[in-house]
Amino acid sequence: MMSLHSRVAIPCSIAMAAVLSLTLAGCGGSSEPSADSDGKVTITVLDSETDEPANSATDALFAHCASNQPGVTIKRVTVPAAEYITKAVQLTASGEAPDILDTDGINVPTLAQAGVLAPIDDLVSSDKINADDYDEGPFSAGSYDGHQYAMPLGNNGEALFYNKTMLEDAGIEPPKTWADLQSAAQELTAGGVYGFAFSMQPGEEATWNWLPSLWSNGGDLDEVNSPEAVEAMEYWTGFVEDGVSPKAQLNLSSADIEPAFVQGKYAMALLGTWTVPGLVKDAEAAGMEWGAVPQPSPDGSPSVTPFGGAVLAVGAKVVTDDAKQQAVFDCLAGLQDSATMVEYADSAGYIPSYHPAATDFLADRPQYQAYADQFASSKSRTGVVGADYAKVSQAISTAISEVATGQKSAQDALDTAQAAVPAS
Amino acid sequence: MLSGKTKADLGVGAEASLTPRPSAAPRPTRPRAGRGLGALRRHSILFFLLPVVLYLPFFAYPIGYNFLVSLRDYTLSSLITGEAPFVGLRNLSSVWHDPIFLTALRNTLLFTLLSITCQYVIGLAIAVFFSRPFFLSRTLRSVIILPWLVPGVVTTAAWKWMFNESNGLVNRLLMDVGLDPIGWFSTSSGAFAAVTIVNIWTGIAFTVVMLHSGLQGIPADQYEAASLDGAGAWGRFWHVTMPGLRPVTGIVIILCLIGTLKQFDIVWVLTRGGPGNATQLLSTWSYQLSFGEQAFGRGAAVGDFLFALSLLAAAVYAIWNRRTTR
C-alpha cells in the first residue's frame, strides 16, 4: 500500500552484488518502437500492489486507460514495495523501462535523481492535469528539483481514534492540543487499559508518526536536533515513559494496534487510513463505538501531517516516443474521473487525491473525514531532504527507539541523527 | 587428499589391472608400476578439481564483485549510467568509523557465540536422549526436524506473536509461574534475547539431525568395552561419545557459525535491528544501507567485513580440523 509495510526481501550484499551484476549485464538494451504499424501501444505499469484487494483495484484502474483509448494495452509488473526502487532502476537500465510508475510518493526524488522518471511539466501546464484539483502537500510530493514528476493518486495518513464509551464515561472531550492529549491519556490509563497507543515500530512508521509533532512544533528535517525537535521528541516518547502508552508499541504497527483498540485495550490510538476497513468491520462485530479527530497540535491549530500515499509517475523513455507519450499522458489525464477514482480508492485503501472524487468519496464514508481534514495542511516528507529522506528517516527512527527505551536523552539521540542530514 | 591407506589400495588395483597374469611372467618392476600409478593419480587429482573449477565462478564472482562495488561510490544512478567513481577504501573506512559498526560487530559476535553454544549443547542433549529407541522415539525425532522445514519468515512471525508483550504466550507463562513479564521488544536486552532465542530454536533441528547421525556411527562395542572397564554413564559420555562425535562436531559448529553470522530474516522480521540498533547485526545493517538507503558501496563494504569474519571462522576450523585429525 505504502512504504510502511514490513516486507522481507532476500538478504545480504552478496545477493545485492548478484543483482547489480545482472543489471549491468543487461545494460545497453535498445529501445524498441512502441507503436507498430496499426497504431497499437502497450503501456507497461510498474506497481507494488501485491496484496488483495489493492491488486485487483489496480487492474481495474488501468483497465480504464485501455477502454478509454482504442489500441492501448496495459501490461502490469508488480514487485514488493521494498524492492520497488531497485526494480525500477534495473528495468530502466536493461531497456525495459516502465512507462507508468505507480509508487509511494516518497520514492519520487530517489527515482527522479536516478534518471528513471521524465518530468510531466508539459502535461501539467497543458491543463490536462491541474494542480488546483489536488491538495498542495500531495501534489508537491510529486515534484523534485523544480519539476513535476508525478500526479497524486491516493492519499493516506494517520488520525486520532478514540473509544467513545471510555471518553464519555470519563467526561473527556476528544483532544485538540498536546496538553489535552497528555491529560486525557493519563486519566484514561487504568485497570490494564492504556490511554493512548501509536506505532513506534523501527523503520518508516516510527518516523512518520513522529513528524506531525516535529512539524507542528515548528521544526523541520533540515535540523532534526533543533530545540523544537528535541521538545517534540520529549513529548512523543513521554507517553511511553509515563506509562500511558504500552511499551509494546515499540514493535507494533498501526495494523497491529487496530484490533487491540477495538478490544478496549487502548482508549485512544493513532491509526492509518489502511486500517479503517478492518476497524469498521471489527468494531461493528464487537459493538464498539469509536470516533476520530485530526491529530492534536501544540496549540490546537491544524496539525501539520506528512502526506502518504501513491502517485503515478512517467518513465524517462516515454518522452522519446511520441505515440507512447500521447497514450501515457491521455491515460493519466483520463483517470481523473470521480467514479473511477472512488472505485479505486475504496478497495485499495486510500482517499482519492483528486478533489472532485474525494468529495464524492467522503460523502458516503464519514469514517475517513478526520484524515481528509488534515490533508489541507499536510506536507511532503521529501520536500526538504529529497532523495536523502530514507537515510534521515532511518536515523530518526533509531533516535525514537533509543529515547523511548531510555538508552539516550532526546538531545543526544537527535544529535546523532543530525549526522544523517545532508549539509545544505 | 588421498590418505596413505587408499594410495596403497589404488596401487594394488592399478597393478592388477595393468599387469597380464601368466604365472610365469616376471614381477613388474617398481618403477614401471610407479609410472602407471603416477599417471592415474594425476588424472584423479584433475577429476577432483573439476567440481572446484565449476563451482568457483558462482562462489568467487559475487564475492569479488561485492568487493569491487565496495571500492566505488555506487548509487542508484550508477545502475543506469554504469558510472561509479572509484573511491578506494573510503567506503570501508566510513563504515569502520560509523558508530553503528562497533554495535553491529559486537551484536554479531555475541549473537553468534550464544547461538552456537546453545544450539550445540541443547542439540547434543536431545540427540543423546533420542539415541536409544523408546516408544514413539522415531515419531518425536521427526517432529523435532519440523522447524527446519518451515520457512524462517513463517516461524519468526509465529514467534513474534508469542513474544508479544501484553498478550503473548511467553509473558503469559512467565506471569503464571509468578515472574514479571519481560519487555521483549521494548528493551534492548529483551529484544536481543528474543532474536537469539528464536535463532537457537531454529538451529537446534539441524544440530540434532547431524549429531544423531554422528551417534549412530559410534560402534556399540566401544560402549561395552568402556562399561567393562568400569565407566559410568558420564564416563562413557566423556570418553566414548564425545571423542566419537569429534568429526561431526567440527562440521556442525562451522555450519552453525556461518549460518548465524549471515542470519538476517529472523532479526529483520522480529525487530528490524531495533530498538535503537540494539539488535543490529552486520547483515541487517548491510541490507539497510544497500536497499533502504541505496548506498550500495557502503552496504557492500559491510558485506566485506562480514565475509572476512566468515573467512576467519573457516580458517580457524581448518586449522583445528588439521590438528585434531593428525
Interface with B, mutate which of A7, A8, A10, A12 (most B CBs under 10 A): A12
Interface with B, mutate which of A13, A14, A194 (most B CBs under 10 A): A13
Claim to verify: residue A42 and residue A129 sit in the same structural domain: yes
In chain A, residues with a C-beta closer than 8 Å to the C-beta of B293 are 390-391, 394
In chain A, residues with a C-beta closer than 8 Å to the C-beta of B262 are 11-12
Backbone φ, ψ for residue A249 (5° rounding): -65, -10
Residue with cell 512544533: A217
Distance from CA of B72 to the nearest CA of A (A): 13
A260's grid cell: 487491540
Is A394 close to B290, i.e. CB distance below 8 A? no
Claim to verify: residue A238 and residue A265 sit in the same structural domain: yes
CATH of the domain at A248: 3.40.190.10
Average pLDDT in the A329-336 region?
A: 92
A4 falls within a domain: no
Per-residue pLDDT of chain B (326 residues; tens, 9 = 90+): 334 343 333 333 333 344 444 444 445 445 454 556 666 677 777 777 888 888 888 888 888 889 998 999 888 878 878 788 888 899 999 999 988 999 999 999 999 999 999 999 999 999 988 887 788 878 888 888 887 788 888 889 899 889 988 778 999 999 999 988 888 888 889 999 999 999 999 889 899 989 998 998 888 888 888 888 888 888 888 888 888 898 888 889 888 888 898 889 899 989 988 788 999 999 999 999 988 888 899 999 999 999 999 889 888 888 887 887 66
Beta strand extents in A315-354 (DSSP E only) = 351-352
CA-based nearest residue to B163, from B202, B192, B204:
B192
The dihedral formed by the CA atoms of A81, A86, A92 and A96, expressed in degrees to the nearest 10: -60
Distance from CA of A144 to the nearest CA of B (A): 16
pTM: 0.79
Can you list the alpha helix ranges (DSSP code H) found in B82-236? 90-97, 99-129, 137-149, 152-162, 169-176, 188-216, 220-228, 233-236
Q: Please tell me the distance from the alpha carbon of residue A265 to that of residue A262, in angstroms, as a whole number.
A: 8
A203 falls within a domain: yes
Side-chain-side CA neighbours of residue B305 (13 Å):
26
The verdict on B59 touching A (C-beta cutoff 8 Å) is no
Closest Cβ opposite residue A247 in set B62, B186, B300? B186
Q: Cβ distance B300 to A17 under 8 Å?
A: yes
Claim to verify: residue A290 and residue A176 sit in the same structural domain: yes
In chain A, residues with a C-beta closer than 8 Å to the C-beta of B294 are 85-86, 110, 390
A122 falls within a domain: yes
Tens of pLDDT, residues A300-318? 999 999 988 999 999 998 8
Chain B 98-137, CB below 8 Å of chain A: which residues?
Answer: 99
pLDDT of residue B16: 39
Closest Cβ opposite residue B76 in set A110, A398, A404? A110
A238 falls within a domain: yes
CA-based nearest residue to B103, from B322, B284, B314:
B284
Claim to verify: residue A211 and residue A270 sit in the same structural domain: yes
Tens of pLDDT, residues A65-81? 988 888 899 999 999 88
Is A85 close to B76, i.e. CB distance below 8 A? yes
Q: Please tell me the distance from the alpha carbon of residue A235 to that of residue A218, in angstroms, as a whole number.
A: 14
Q: Please tell me the distance from the alpha carbon of residue B46 to that of residue B52, in angstroms, as a whole number.
A: 10
In chain B, residues with a C-beta closer than 8 Å to the C-beta of A240 are 186
The verdict on B6 touching A (C-beta cutoff 8 Å) is no
Tens of pLDDT, residues A363-402? 999 999 999 999 888 888 988 888 889 899 999 999 999 9
Closest Cβ opposite residue B299 in set A13, A248, A265? A13
Claim to verify: residue A296 and residue A324 sit in the same structural domain: no
Claim to verify: residue A96 and residue A191 sit in the same structural domain: no
Claim to verify: residue A326 and residue A292 sit in the same structural domain: no
Q: Cβ distance A336 to A123 under 8 Å?
A: no
In chain A, residues with a C-beta closer than 8 Å to the C-beta of B286 are 12-13
pLDDT of residue B13: 38
In chain B, residues with a C-beta closer than 8 Å to the C-beta of A31 are none
Claim to verify: residue A193 and residue A326 sit in the same structural domain: no
Task: Set out the domains of chain B in order of their start, with CATH numbers.
Answer: 90-325 (1.10.3720.10)
Q: Please tell me the distance from the alpha carbon of residue B248 to that of residue A211, in angstroms, as a whole number.
A: 54
Distance from CA of B236 to the nearest CA of A (A): 44
Closest Cβ opposite residue B274 in set A116, A202, A260? A202
Is A113 close to B77, i.e. CB distance below 8 A? yes
Claim to verify: residue A392 and residue A261 sit in the same structural domain: yes
Interface with A, mutate which of B291, B296, B309, B311 (most A CBs under 10 A): B291
Is B299 close to A16, i.e. CB distance below 8 A? yes
Q: How many domains does chain A have?
A: 2
Amino acid symbol at A239? F
Is A93 close to B153, i.e. CB distance below 8 A? no
The verdict on B189 touching A (C-beta cutoff 8 Å) is no
Is B77 close to A114, i.e. CB distance below 8 A? yes
Q: Please tell me the distance from the alpha carbon of residue B6 to that of residue B1, in angstroms, as a whole number.
A: 10
pLDDT of residue B37: 64
In chain A, residues with a C-beta closer than 8 Å to the C-beta of B82 are 24, 27
Is A404 close to B275, i.e. CB distance below 8 A? yes
pLDDT of residue B292: 83
Is A390 close to B294, i.e. CB distance below 8 A? yes
Distance from CA of A295 to the nearest CA of B (A): 24
Report helix, strand or coil for A382: coil
A6 falls within a domain: no
The side-by-side arrangement of strands in the sheet containing A290-293 is A194-197, A266-272, A158-163, A290-293
pLDDT of residue B181: 86
Side-chain-side CA neighbours of residue A228 (13 Å):
15
A329 falls within a domain: yes
Claim to verify: residue A110 and residue A248 sit in the same structural domain: no
Claim to verify: residue A66 and residue A144 sit in the same structural domain: yes
Report in angstroms the alpha-carbon separations of A88 from A83, A238, A386, B315: 9, 40, 18, 40
Side-chain-side CA neighbours of residue B212 (13 Å):
21
Task: Identify the bridge partners of residue A72 per DSSP, sorted by sequence position.
Answer: A41
A268 falls within a domain: yes
Amino acid symbol at B150? V
Closest Cβ opposite residue A23 in set B79, B269, B286? B79
Is B79 close to A399, i.e. CB distance below 8 A? no
Is A251 close to B269, i.e. CB distance below 8 A? no
CA-based nearest residue to A138, from A118, A157, A115:
A157
Distance from CA of A17 to the nearest CA of B (A): 5
Q: Which residue of B has its CA nearest to A413?
A: B276
Could you tell me which residue, A122 or A181, shows the higher pLDDT? A181
Is A13 close to B66, i.e. CB distance below 8 A? yes
Q: How many interchain CB pairs under 8 A, A with B?
A: 162
Average pLDDT in the A200-225 region?
A: 94
Is B76 close to A113, i.e. CB distance below 8 A? yes
Claim to verify: residue A96 and residue A166 sit in the same structural domain: no
A1 falls within a domain: no
Q: Which domain holds residue A294?
A: 158-305+385-418
Is B291 close to A82, i.e. CB distance below 8 A? yes
